Amino acid sequence: MADPAPPLIRLIGELRLAGSDGLALRLPPSRKTRALLGYLVATGRPHRRERLCDLLWDGPDDPRAELRWSLSKLRPLIEGRAGLRLDADRERIGVDAESAVVDLGRARGLVPVTAAAAPTAALRQAATLLCGELLDGLDLPLCYRFQEWLMAERAAVARLRHAVLSALVARLEGSPDEALVHARALAAADPLSEAGHARVVLLLARAGRGREALVHYEHARRLLAQELGVAPEAELKAARQTLRAVASPPAVPPPAVDVPVAAVPPRSPRAPIVGREEERAAIEHLAASRSAASVLLLTGEPGIGKSRLLAYLADCVEAAGGRALAARAYEAEATRPYGVWIDLLRVALRVAPQDDLPPELSLLLPEAAAPPPDATDRARMFDAVDGLLRRLAAERPLALILDDIQWLDEASSALLHYVARSARDKPGAILACGARIGEIDDNAAASRVLRSLRTDGRLTVLELGPLDGTATVALVRNISAAADAQGIFARSGGNPLFAIALARTHADGSSESGSTLDALVADQMAALGDAGREVLIWAAVLGGSFTPDDIDRVTGLGAATLLSALGELERRGLLRPTDESAHDFVHDLVREAVYRSLSLPRRRLAHRRAARTLAEGGDVAAADLARHAALAEDHPLAARAAILAGDRALRLFANTEAKGFAERGLRHAGRLPDERERVAACIALLRICVLAAAGPGMRPLPRIADAVSAATAAAERLGLTADAATGHYLLSILHQEAGAASDAADATLRAAAIGRTGDTATRAHQLANTARCLLELETQVDRARSLLAEVDEIAREGGLELCELHWGQGLLARWDGDRDAAAGALHRALGLARGAEDRWREYKCLTWLAVLERERGNRQAMEARCVELAAVAARLGENEQPLVATLRALALLEAGDVAGPEVLAGSLAALRAIDDKSWLAYALNVAADMEMRAGRVAAGRAYAREALAVAEAMQRHSEMVIARSLLGLGAAVRPESGRVGAQARTAVDSSNAGSNGRRSPCADVTPEEAIPCPASSSNAASRHRSHKKT
């Protein structure tokens, strides 16, 4: 018996794995799982688990769990298959494919040394194997480490392909027709190479095809002028000279037709739905019940019919007199904060215009509402969206339909959860979603929302399988009565999209040679005119729905040509109108097939043109600009776009997206040739990294202090004053949050020194920031007081309103014991922070106000501030707020609530778990004081001992002094009563006479500056710290 054939693995083009029988195996639907398989096979060696987690799962809470899940999907595919083995232990993972036939390895084996030395037959084989891009369709732009590896490997494959094709063209000069095939492939692979185009022109001329040669020359000339702004040089001109006898093709003037670009052909009716009786019955029941008690989720593989059933739900709701609002997420817009909601709200306001829209909606729809006169936050923005939907549901039954939620950004996922949780309070509202099975698991944020709804019993899932034979035949008959419906069912496997494509191919009179959707789409593209093919390509590059204006801006085709091309693409079933002004592909799989038909250099050219077109607008399209610039590898534009997009994401409370923009932008900024531009961009992006990580959840800040220090030093050396001051400001935040008070003070003082050399506004801002930082650190208070006085004078003269000035004045008033003045100043600072949409300063001011209200003994006001803090945290995706929980627990303990000690123990445990221990020392000392006052001296001493240990470790001198004082009070306990002796308490209280200052826990004073007094005799809810007057 013959040995079984080895398995085949295709890495060039779409990833494919075939068994010994030659049949393609079904790969896991998760893109990250397929990317993992491709990476392991392509690299050909085991990798540490940590490396794989960093490569593909840098975002989830438990990347190792994600890796294990992917391995569980790969094991059944690989194990037990001859020639393949999955090697996985506790440390490393690899795929042993030495006995398999891997196309990339085979191609490299055919050209072991140089292409020039390889036999012609080997070159022909290698050229066939290298047709396509490495792991096409597995780009993961959000996993920038994987994406960088993939782009580098693709570049290496491109170099090999170029060498092979060049050798073939040179070797086949005597056979111009065959050489021309490879020369065209070379020109397509490098569209801006004059030498490549010159070879095509010369070979066409030698083959006696002078007219084609002239057409190609004109194409190359226009391309070079359009993309590089240059005229042909010697080599291409010389090729043109060989065509001297051939007349230039006559110029055809464009038709003088005055047609508005925004017009589109009339919308074609929706195809009738077939099969799916059970699913249709469930949808009809949902539409009739008008109940939002459960969210409907349709899942299935791509092309299986999810979108068609969601459209059926819309039809049912509208037939019953209701209104359906639908939008879809796009892979290309996965980093665009609230992208799907912005699209849905625009649809809502187009079909149901509303007066008196809440100003908070201007954050999402600047064109629909005036900005709010006062500051807003994400909680109010979410309430505004929900309020608008509630208003629409009150008018008529309402269906909200979100398709392809596997591509939701994290901010959109948070809003989906908010709307879903409040949907039960909207009578007549229905919420339905569609998602690709498997790929939804790659989206951690969207998966969390679905898990939460499932846990609450509020998720109804309909998983769609393939159509049966009867339904597929009916579907085919609707398109072409003469088509071989049974044969199409066998070839499509019951996938409706593939079946429709096969039927349409038959209806158009084309051959049915294609065995894949890519092949069918390629056949249809070949039958298109030049304008139709150009529109289709640009639609794929843009990545989402588009208007004729969008296409016209990048192609310049003109209105009449565009409308004709759109009509042709609709008739062929490639595009569909989505509303009165926009089009989209009939399915994302068609978009992906068209995009894969482009060579990597052609994609880069297209993305570069799209990016430069978008760069003319504002920051609303910054996310799209960042995507196109990155794919074009236009590093200067990509870095600038990442700054714009990151800042916009911060304003929209989309901190996760902001962090992603910053991290990806840093990769581009590091490649800028101009050092001044590189340093300025790096500091701007590092600032976004810091502010995106800072939040009420008190999560550890990114470990980027070294990078900030290096960039700041470079900015100083280059004379970039404002950037250097920003760098020192960032260092002060990083050091302060890490508990390095001395380093934080040094950094903020250095920032002030540099800031003095800037303009008036820069100087005022930086001096105020330094004063505020010194007060938070409780060091050099005299200097901080003087700086604030200087900034106040500058601000009055210049009419400046500075958040940092009021913030610092609030902290200074608190230091001086004037809590009312402190609250007023901090409240003004909070308003300015919100007005500037500065989320970091907003939550910092809220934190101080909550602490201040506790110290004022105003529990109700403190709780109100805690509610605001919790709301900001929740909208930032932070479910844990350790300091908020601790303040509430201390209030319970102070009120004598029996649950107080237990609740406090839990909140302190959470506070211990974070890196910033300054608030822990503060809370422990407050708790120690309360326990001792309540007569629980042992518990108080335990808290004080821990507070002393934490304060000593963090070098928090004020907390050290207070802890020692509390321990001293605890030692003066009456054994018979367990209470602090009155004489000891009086002695300590008397040392505090005349001082009512209260300093922050972030102290960096020397022991000589602090008087050891832990308590106040005037108010048990207050905790005073006295100090020498400064």
Per-residue model confidence as pLDDT tens digits over 275-290: 999 999 999 998 888 7
Query: Which strand (E) or helix (H) includes residue 325?
Result: strand 323-328
Reported confidence tier of residue 253, pLDDT bands at 50, 70, 90: very low
pLDDT reading at 986 higher than 60? no
Reported confidence tier of residue 257, pLDDT bands at 50, 70, 90: very low
DSSP-assigned beta bridge partners for residue 911: none
* Alpha-carbon torsion (189, 195, 200, 201), positive or negative: positive
Smallest Cα–Cα separation from 766: which of 732, 817, 799, 736? Answer: 732
One-letter amino acid for residue 586 of the chain: V
State the average pLDDT for the chain: 83
In this prediction, residues 781-788 reach a mean pLDDT of 90
pLDDT reading at 326 higher than 90? yes
In this prediction, residues 159-175 reach a mean pLDDT of 92
Q: What are the tens digits of pLDDT across the range 34-67?
A: 999 999 999 999 999 999 999 998 765 678 889 9
- Beta-sheet pairing, 92-96 with 323-328: unpaired
Q: What is residue 953's predicted lDDT score, i.e. its pLDDT?
A: 76
- φ and ψ at residue 297, rounded to 5 degrees: -125, 120
Question: Among the listed ranges 84-98, 243-257, 677-691, which one has the minimum average pLDDT value?
Answer: 243-257
pLDDT reading at 699 higher than 70? no
* Alpha-carbon torsion (329, 331, 337, 342), positive or negative: negative
Q: What is residue 874's predicted lDDT score, i.e. its pLDDT?
A: 62
Residue 916: both structure tokens together: 């910033």
Q: What is residue 975's predicted lDDT score, i.e. its pLDDT?
A: 47
- CA dist 628 and 625 (Å) reads 5
- CA dist 917 and 910 (Å) reads 11
Residue 962: both structure tokens together: 């207070």
In this prediction, residues 584-599 reach a mean pLDDT of 89
Q: What are the tens digits of pLDDT across the range 614-652?
A: 988 767 789 999 999 999 999 999 999 999 999 999 888
Strands (E), 953-1024: none
Q: What is the CA radius of gyration of the chain?
A: 33
- CA dist 323 and 115 (Å) reads 63
Reported confidence tier of residue 167, pLDDT bands at 50, 70, 90: very high
- CA dist 960 and 592 (Å) reads 63
In this prediction, residues 578-602 reach a mean pLDDT of 87
- CA dist 781 and 770 (Å) reads 11
In this prediction, residues 763-771 reach a mean pLDDT of 86
pLDDT reading at 733 higher than 60? yes
The residue ranking higher by pLDDT, 976 or 436, is 436
Reduce the DSSP state of residue 250 to 3 states and report it.
Answer: coil
In this prediction, residues 900-926 reach a mean pLDDT of 82
Q: What is residue 59's predicted lDDT score, i.e. its pLDDT?
A: 62
Q: Are 774 and 783 in contact (CB under 8 A)?
A: yes
Q: What is residue 374's predicted lDDT score, i.e. its pLDDT?
A: 58
Q: What is residue 101's predicted lDDT score, i.e. its pLDDT?
A: 92
Q: Are 682 and 711 in contact (CB under 8 A)?
A: yes
User: Could you tell me what percent of the chain has a pLDDT over 70?
Assistant: 86
Q: What is residue 917's predicted lDDT score, i.e. its pLDDT?
A: 66
- CA dist 497 and 465 (Å) reads 13
pLDDT reading at 692 higher than 50? yes
Q: What is residue 1019's predicted lDDT score, i.e. its pLDDT?
A: 33
Question: Among the listed ranges 101-105, 263-267, 607-611, which one has the minimum average pLDDT value?
Answer: 263-267
Smallest Cα–Cα separation from 591: which of 498, 501, 521? Answer: 521
| Residue whose entry in the numeric block shows the structure tokens 């187009």 | 350
Q: What is residue 1025's predicted lDDT score, i.e. its pLDDT?
A: 42
pLDDT reading at 251 higher than 80? no
pLDDT reading at 797 higher than 90? no
pLDDT reading at 1007 higher than 60? no
CA distances from 115 to 103, 104, 131, 420 (A): 17, 15, 16, 60
- CA dist 391 and 352 (Å) reads 11
Question: Among the listed ranges 228-242, 755-769, 914-928, 1012-1026, which one has the minimum average pLDDT value?
Answer: 1012-1026
Reported confidence tier of residue 806, pLDDT bands at 50, 70, 90: very high
How many degrees, rounded to 5, is the angle at CA 294 between CA 292 and CA 299?
A: 120
Q: What is residue 3's predicted lDDT score, i.e. its pLDDT?
A: 65
pLDDT reading at 688 higher than 50? yes
In this prediction, residues 985-995 reach a mean pLDDT of 38
In this prediction, residues 682-686 reach a mean pLDDT of 96
Q: What is residue 466's predicted lDDT score, i.e. its pLDDT?
A: 93
In this prediction, residues 678-694 reach a mean pLDDT of 91
The residue ranking higher by pLDDT, 356 or 305, is 305
One-letter amino acid for residue 267 of the chain: R
Q: Are 154 and 134 in contact (CB under 8 A)?
A: yes
- φ and ψ at residue 965, rounded to 5 degrees: -65, -40
Q: What is residue 61's predicted lDDT score, i.e. its pLDDT?
A: 64
How many residues are there in the chain? 1030
- CA dist 939 and 901 (Å) reads 10
Question: Among the listed ranges 200-214, 313-327, 532-546, 746-760, which one has the minimum average pLDDT value?
Answer: 746-760
In this prediction, residues 998-1021 reach a mean pLDDT of 34
Q: What are the tens digits of pLDDT across the range 467-521?
A: 999 999 999 988 888 888 898 888 888 889 888 888 887 776 555 545 577 878 8
Distance of CA 302 to the CA centre of its chain: 23
Which stretches of 897-956 are DSSP H helices?
Answer: 900-912, 918-933, 937-954
Write out the DSSP string of 155-188: HHHHHHHHHHHHHHHHHTTT-HHHHHHHHHHHHH
Q: What is residue 922's predicted lDDT score, i.e. its pLDDT?
A: 86
pLDDT reading at 5 higher than 60? yes
